[in-house]
Amino acid sequence: MSVTEMFSYIQGFLTADQDIREDIRKVVQTLEQTAREVLTILQSVHQPSGFKDIPSKCLKARELFCTVQTQIGELKTKFPVEQYYRFHEHWRFVLQRLTFLAAFVVYLESESLVTREEVAKILGIEVDREKGFHLDLEDYLAGILIMASELSRLAVNSVTAGDYGRPLRISDFINKLDSGFRLLNLKNDPLRKRYDGLKYDVKKIEEVVYDLSIRGLAKEQEAGGDK
């Protein structure tokens, strides 16, 4: 094989590669758009008026996740399934956002941590690599960490809206999450950087809880809630 032939073969490969990336980028753009729409719906829980109908917001978000499922289904067709990690960086960001949104919806509904399996189900993807387009563990964890900072914001805003019980429950939840993350041996990578931010969310929520406690606001709410 001559030098010229070799290079034109490589050129062909590179062009094909670029075409695939172009296709992926287009689908990912639509996915990002949908993710933004879901976020907009969920953002309204931060407003005092939004607190009253969280279930309906979640329902709406769930509906949009159907669109996400079809869009991810389209994404799956754009590249050979065994080359997931070759193009991973194209959808890594959006998949983390979607994990966050799914986790947030599940938290608002049931105040529990979404499992990886649940996220995969909501997004219409797999957990194991062998079975097809899957949710990478690190992306799942990154999504959970985004949710943690969203929850610290929610704690502050729920106090403003007069819901004094919620911050306590959030604090409980975040503490559990924090001790979970403590179990992980993270490398010096983007996930670790994001994890480093978790302690500020924890601190913020603890401050809110503190403020409520010294004013006796938390106790009042809880006493009412328990009875």
Q: Quote the least distance from Cβ 112 to other proteins, whole Å.
A: 8
Tell which one of 26, 55, 184, 193 touches other proteins (CB under 8 A). 184
Binding mask 95-134 for other proteins (x = CB under 8 A): ------------------x-xx------------xx----
HEC string of the chain? CCHHHHHHHHHHHHHHHHHHHHHHHHHHHHHHHHHHHHHHHHHHHHCHHHHHHHHHHHHHHHHHHHHHHHHHHHHHCCCCHHHHHHCHHHHHHHHHHHHHHHHHHHHHHHCCCCCHHHHHHHHCCECCHHHCCECCHHHHHHHHHHHHHHHHHHHHHHHHCCCCHHHHHHHHHHHHHHHHHHCCCCCCCHHHHHHHCHHHHHHHHHHHHHHHHHCCHHHHHHHHHHC
Any contact of residue 27 with other proteins (CB under 8 A)?
Answer: no
| Smaller CB separation from other proteins, 34 or 201 | 201
Q: How many residues bind other proteins, per CB under 8 A?
A: 54
The only residue of 83, 111, 190, 224 in contact with other proteins, by rule CB under 8 A? 83
Pick the closer one to other proteins by CB: 24 or 113: 113
227 binds other proteins (CB under 8 A): no
Q: Which residues bind other proteins (CB under 8 A)?
A: 1-4, 6-11, 13-15, 18, 82-86, 88, 113, 115-116, 129-130, 137-138, 141, 168, 171-172, 175-187, 206-207, 209-210, 213-214, 218-219, 222, 226
